[in-house]
Structure 1
């Protein structure tokens, strides 16, 4: 009988990757407090290509309800303003020379509920990613069965993969709950 090993470290790393992606998606959600990461998805049409906003200027958070963007090139101020307005984040910049001020408005209850629902959808996507990694691991166990893995080893690896999956899903659930509480906090 062959002694077949399943690479659980790789599976765990991939499940952790889903968690990292979820945290990046959560960072772009507005919670009523200013955060420079709100502007991460904004792309500016600069120099003939789309560039991330942070490559066109300096993003600062001087106050809890204000973000400032100091544009490095005077010719890009209009493009940066347009990119922020068209990004769908719901913030209207105020231009002051080469500085754009972005006041973060209070979130009303309806918008908070909407954002909490979006956070839940992001979490579900992360859970699907974790389950796909679990499926890959279980496929490795099935392949091991075909290669002569003992039933005890199959059970051991199946349980090991399931416990990794359960732990990853719990982390995702905790992150969703935390983000939704943060969004709903007035």
Structure 2
């Protein structure tokens, strides 16, 4: 490898790792029939003139396997939090008990499980696209360096490294998807 032409593979790997992190966050928000506080992460509420995540408006707890509770700190926000949960598309019907909102998690039926595996697959495809976009950026850097005089041997070497990174992260996405789909289909 020539020292004159360095392709920043650390940056490429960091960006691919970012795509994996986003995928894990999206997977955490998918309901699998078990209660998890993270399923509320994507839901935001218009509170005090700002869009605010639910976990900044109250304490989120999982007291039992099929129940999530939110102890809302401000009584005036209880209605807004409840409305946001109803409109979120999670398929959960909140129950009020003073400032505590209880979210009983219903059993998933077979049809809903299949829908959720398709949603998980679409999240995984988005992550694969993100990884491929990072690969394309790396290949563009190599082309630019080739135009500036990088040797053919170095071009082949760097292209191989970028492709190897891409394969590694695509395989990680596939493995994460497989695990999430198995978790969703588990009765």
TM-score range, shorter chain: over 0.9
Instruction: Tell me the residue number matched to 2:114.
Output: 113
User: What TM-score do you get using the length of structure 2 for normalisation?
Assistant: 0.97
Give the equivalent residue in structure 1 for 2:141. Answer: 140
- CA shift digits 1:29-72 (9 cap, x unpaired): 00000000110111112223321111111000010100000010
Alignment root-mean-square deviation, CA? 1.1
- Greater alpha carbon shift after TM alignment, 79-88 vs 40-49: 40-49
* Matched residue, 2:164: 163
User: Which secondary structure state, in structure 2, belongs to the residue aligned with residue 31 of structure 1?
Assistant: coil
Instruction: For 1:10 and 1:49, locate their aligned partners in 2 and report how far apart those are by CA, in whole Å.
Output: 34
1:177 is aligned to 178
| Residue 53 of structure 1: aligned partner | 54
Q: Which residue of 1 aligns with 2:98?
A: 97
Deviations, residues 52-100 of structure 1 (Å, cap 9, x unaligned): 1111110000101000000101111111111111111111111001111
Is 1:32–1:106's contact at 8 Å kept on the other side of the alignment? yes
SS at match of 1:13: helix
Matching residue of 1:88: 89
- Segments of 5+ residues of structure 1 without an aligned counterpart are none
Q: TM-score, normalised by structure 1?
A: 0.97
Give secondary structure in 2 for the equivalent of 1:101.
strand
Report how far residue 2 of structure 1 moved.
Answer: 7.4
1:15 touches 1:168 (CA, 8 Å); kept in 2? yes
Task: Say which SS state the counterpart of residue 87 (structure 1) adopts.
Answer: coil
Distance of aligned partners of 1:63 and 1:154 in 2 relative to their CA distance in 1, 3 Å threshold: same
Runs of 4+ in 1 over 6 A off after TM superposition: none
